[in-house]
A and B are shown apart, each in its own frame.
Chain A
Amino acid sequence: MSIQQRDAAIVGIHEFPSRDVEGELSPLHIKAESASKALADAGLTWSDVDGIYDAGEGGASGLTIAEYFGLSPTVIDTTNVGGSSYQFHAAHARRAIAAGKARVALLTYGSTAHSNVARIGTGGRGMGGYPADNLESFAGLTLIANYAMCARRHMFEFGTTSEQLAAISVATRCHAMRNPDAVRAMEDLEFLDIRETTVDDVVNSRMIADPLHLLECCMISDGGGAVVIAAPDVARDCRHKPVWILGTGEATKYPGGGADITSSAAVQSGPIGFGEAGVGPDEMDIAMIYDSFSITVLTILEDLGFCPKGEGGRWVEGGRLRFDRPSEGPALNTDGGGLSSNHPGMRGIFLLIEAARQLRGESTAQVEGAKLAVAHGNGGMLGSRHSAGTVVLGGD
């Protein structure tokens, strides 16, 4: 542990509690409220911020976000790589702080996907501006079907089963039922029969896009959050113990050249992040893995090296991902995840927030003595072009 670089730490967090703002708040409102509460959590204020990291969604841009917050930052980064933008932001903030370009970085996210009735998973993909979209949009590939093709190929190559994938949904729901915000989210979004689930519940739920069932798909909520990342000397004076960023990795992957969709860009970002941190996946107490769908988690667990490629199905079955079985490996998505707590479209920031809660000892599904966590975001679409951001975090 002595060789780790402790250049920057998460010192403030806030997850916007409501998942249904009933059209009364904008994404910018959610960002600003979350930012102020994350700064208060850190014991800092607006004027301390000199770095802004925001994916530019919801009406802000690199040109206007500082004005909206009333800040004069020296670093502005509006990287948008989809849901893993916040892992990229954390990586970039750490580098900017280590280089002396910033001392307090503010990461913000806000979305009203639920209020907007955004059919993210099932709307069919519109024409984007990228040339490849012009060869793909005619096929009616929904986002869920894109991920489903990864699951289908994984089943074909490795014999993975729906029952095994369901273990991921069951573990996250178990954690969600301990989190009052997650329970309220499911109530507000009118989930039916809100309770802990079984493998049978998952595989008997409605098929959305074969082989993915309803209970393998994330919710579409409103929401947002903020994270404050600070230099070590600032972090020492903050209200909570610092949560150190020990290593980061970034990657993209795309179709072409016979790309293997049973593995993701995490194959590249994971070893970089763990290598920089000087720790391995087997040492992780917490795995905050972007759970857009069950298959996303299974693929990424393999890619990060928790188990060999193709063995993820057998590895996750039986409940080892639960928070109360720490001897069998990391606890997965202890806030309830995108499957059962919060998914307004780009969930990456919540991976950092819940990992920080665990390393502070504040989770509603707390792993006793948790010291190390990985927060891995996936952006875009797993079965075609996507991004991967790995952030390895350590307690103080």
Chain B
Amino acid sequence: MTESTRPLPNFEESDTAPFWQGTMDRQLRFQRCNDCDTVIFHPRRHCVGCLGRDLIWHDASGLGTIYSYSIVRQSYHPFFRQHVPYVVAWVDLDEGPRLLSNVVGIEDPSSDVHCGMAVRVEWEPHGDYAIPLFRPL
């Protein structure tokens, strides 16, 4: 065993801090513009659909589908190399945002993951915060 852990975000980075604060309540948050309804993800301080800045944070349901994925079989990263093979995926949340994450809780990644598969968020705690991972429904 090594002591290395999953690389954690800077939970206080200004654009993404509200997202990470949401994970304390196990909520997946995203922004929508109050003026033009544009969904903003990754989070920002300004709207990319209009010239406004009136962005409202919303809680997503945590349900989504796998847009695409890969099974990582070779990694030189000190943490991830211990976990190969593992699944990385783009997950489309039902509300629109697309998240990069891992798909967990599967027996055989070669046969048990596919594009279009329905998934639900699952939280991996790190202190008060949590990392959003996804598990097939």
Q: Are A258 and B92 in contact (CB under 8 A)?
A: yes
Q: How far is the CA of A153 from the CA of B61 in the complex (A)?
A: 25
| Smallest Cβ-Cβ distance to B71: which chain A residue | A210
Given contacts A123-B77, A156-B115, A258-B98, contact A132 B70 (CB under 8 A): no
Q: Are B69 and A127 in contact (CB under 8 A)?
A: no
Partner of B13, one of A131, A139, A150, A255: A131
Q: Which of B55-111 contact A (CB under 8 A)?
A: 67-77, 79-80, 83, 86, 88-90, 92, 96, 98-102, 109-110
Partner of B72, one of A140, A261, A384: A140
Q: Are A139 and B100 in contact (CB under 8 A)?
A: yes
B residues with CB within 8 A of A: 6-10, 13-16, 19, 39, 41-44, 67-77, 79-80, 83, 86, 88-90, 92, 96, 98-102, 109-110, 114-116, 131
Chain B min CB distance to A140 (Å): 4
A residues with CB within 8 A of B: 119, 122-124, 126-127, 131-132, 134-142, 144-146, 148-150, 152-153, 156, 206-212, 255-259, 261, 383-384
Which residues does chain B contribute within 8 Å of A207, judged by CB atoms? 71, 73
Partner of B10, one of A134, A144, A149: A134
Chain A min CB distance to B59 (Å): 16
Q: How far is the CA of A126 from the CA of B67 in the complex (A)?
A: 23
Which residues does chain A contribute within 8 Å of B73, judged by CB atoms? 206-210
Which residues does chain B contribute within 8 Å of A132, judged by CB atoms? 42
Shortest beta-carbon contacts, A-B, top 3: A124-B77, A148-B70, A140-B80
Q: Are B88 and A139 in contact (CB under 8 A)?
A: yes
* Extra A-B contacts (6), CB below 8 Å, given A135-B43, A152-B68, A384-B100: A127-B10, A135-B9, A156-B114, A208-B74, A256-B41, A256-B98
Partner of B68, one of A123, A131, A137, A261: A261
A–B complex contacts, Cβ < 8 Å, 20 sampled: A122-B74, A124-B75, A126-B7, A131-B13, A131-B42, A132-B42, A139-B100, A140-B6, A142-B72, A145-B70, A149-B88, A156-B116, A206-B73, A208-B74, A209-B71, A209-B72, A210-B73, A211-B70, A258-B96, A261-B68
Chain B min CB distance to A117 (Å): 9
Which residues does chain A contribute within 8 Å of B68, judged by CB atoms? 149-150, 152-153, 156, 261, 383
Chain B min CB distance to A292 (Å): 15
Which residues does chain B contribute within 8 Å of A255, judged by CB atoms? 90, 98
Q: Are B88 and A138 in contact (CB under 8 A)?
A: no
Q: How far is the CA of A303 from the CA of B76 in the complex (A)?
A: 33
Which residues does chain A contribute within 8 Å of B96, judged by CB atoms? 258
Given contacts A138-B131, A209-B71, contact A131 B88 (CB under 8 A): no
Chain A min CB distance to B100 (Å): 4
Q: Are A152 and B69 in contact (CB under 8 A)?
A: yes
Q: Are B101 and A124 in contact (CB under 8 A)?
A: no
Given contacts A122-B74, A123-B77, contact A139 B69 (CB under 8 A): no
Which residues does chain B contribute within 8 Å of A258, judged by CB atoms? 92, 96, 98
